[in-house]
Amino acid sequence: MITSKSVKPALQQAYVKLMMDVIGRGLVMASQVDEEIKQEVAKFPTGFVLSMNVFPDGPAFIARVSEQKQLELLDTAQQKPDLTITFKHLSHAFLVFSFQESTALAFAHDRMIADGDLAHAIRLVRCLNKMEALILPKLVAELAVKQYPGDLSLKEKLTGAASIYLKVAQSYLKRSA
């Protein structure tokens, strides 16, 4: 097993930056294709801004709930986000993003801080868990989430993953064009 101490800080930084971008984009795309995530996002108020970052000024993503009740990525926040999930250190983010520790366990070990309404933070974690269950192989997803959804069929997993990955790939292509 690769531990965070055996990976050089520059590689941790690059990996966490890439994963933060992929997770931000994946969450946005999942809010467009997965019914469960759509329902969760619809419960956030329109204009709600959420972010995930690494303290003090590490990799981050910022998203906003649109009028259509879907998430959209923002380049910068025009105001303080309504909810910010902050990893206290790059190595803590690396543990989560390399699937050595689940988000729930990272919170339990006080590696992350939620700045905002706790109910909104729990809703965001549910969205992240569902997205991870969809896009990651089951063995990896079981490490990443507190409880793998028992009712997630192989068809739903493959269809959801394909849709999310396709939309994420398209978002990278649009950005480079």
Per-residue pLDDT tens over the stretch 117-176 = 999 999 999 999 899 999 888 888 887 887 888 888 888 988 988 899 888 998 888 876
Which tokens in the block code for residue 78? 């025009």
Residue whose tokens read 């000024």: 57
Residue 63: inside a domain: yes
**pLDDT category of residue 37 using cuts at 50, 70 and 90:** very high
Structural domain boundaries, residue 41: 4-166
- Quick one: pLDDT at residue 2? 57
- Quick one: pLDDT at residue 142? 82
Residue 174: inside a domain: no
Residue 92: inside a domain: yes
Helix (H, G, I), strand (E, B) or coil at 100: coil
**pLDDT category of residue 6 using cuts at 50, 70 and 90:** low
Residue 49: inside a domain: yes
Angle between helices 9-33 and 35-42 (to 10 degrees): 90
Average pLDDT, stretch 99-111? 88
Residue 86: inside a domain: yes
- Quick one: pLDDT at residue 146? 78
Residue 106: inside a domain: yes
Of 109 and 1, the one with more pLDDT: 109
Length of the chain: 177
Look at the chain and report how many structural domains it folds into: 1
Residue 36: inside a domain: yes
Q: Is the dihedral of CA 31, 32, 34, 35 positive or negative?
A: positive
Helix (H, G, I), strand (E, B) or coil at 54: strand
Q: Is the pTM of this model over 0.95?
A: no
**pLDDT category of residue 102 using cuts at 50, 70 and 90:** confident
Q: Do residues 63 and 74 make contact, with C-beta atoms less than 8 angstroms apart?
A: yes
CATH number at residue 9: 3.30.1050.10
- pLDDT tens profile 38-47: 999 999 999 9
- pLDDT tens profile 45-96: 999 999 999 999 899 999 999 999 999 999 998 889 999 999 999 999 999 9
Residue 175: inside a domain: no
How far apart CA 29 and CA 96 sit, in angstroms, is 21
